[in-house]
Amino acid sequence: AQRVTQPEKLLSVFKGAPVELKCNYSYSGSPELFWYVQYSRQRLQLLLRHISRESIKGFTADLNKGETSFHLKKPFAQEEDSAMYYCALRVRSGNTPLVFGKGTRLSVIA
C-alpha cells in the first residue's frame, strides 16, 4: 500500500529564511506526487505537482526516487506562506485516489 510521511507537524521559520517541508513516500512503482496547501479558513488547493516541474509562489519540489522523497522548498519564506501543507501521492497507472500525508503546519514569523 502507498504511504506518505510528513515527519514535521509544525515548522516555524523567520521571514526571509529558507523553507523545506519534508515528504517521504513508500511505493515501489511509478508515483505521481503533489503538494496541496490550505490557507487559514480556505479550501485545500493544489500548489504543485511533480510532473509539471514548475515553481509556484516561489516553491519548488523535486521528486527523488532514490530517496523516495518529494520535499517542498522555498529560498525565502514570506508571511503569507503560513498555511497547512499536505503532500499527496497517486499511483500513476491505477484507479486509485490521492493518498495524503498528515500535513505540516508552516508558520512564518515576521
Partner 1 sequence: DAGVIQSPRHEVTEMGQEVTLRCKPISGHDYLFWYRQTMMRGLELLIYFNNNVPIDDSGMPEDRFSAKMPNASFSTLKIQPSEPRDSAVYFCASSLLLGVAFFGQGTRLTVV
Question: What is the binding site for partner 1 (CB under 8 A)?
Answer: 34, 36, 42-46, 49, 86, 90, 95-103
Shortest Å distance, C-beta 48 to partner 1: 11
According to DSSP, the residues that pair with 72 across neighbouring strands are: 21, 61
Q: 45 vs 55, which CB is nearer to partner 1?
A: 45
Q: 10 vs 17, which CB is nearer to partner 1?
A: 10
- What is d(CA 76, CA 64) in angstroms, rounded to the nearest whole number? 22
Shortest Å distance, C-beta 22 to partner 1: 15
- The amino acid occupying position 80 is E
Burial of 69 (0-12, 13-18, 19+ CB in 10 A): middle
Q: 16 vs 55, which CB is nearer to partner 1?
A: 55
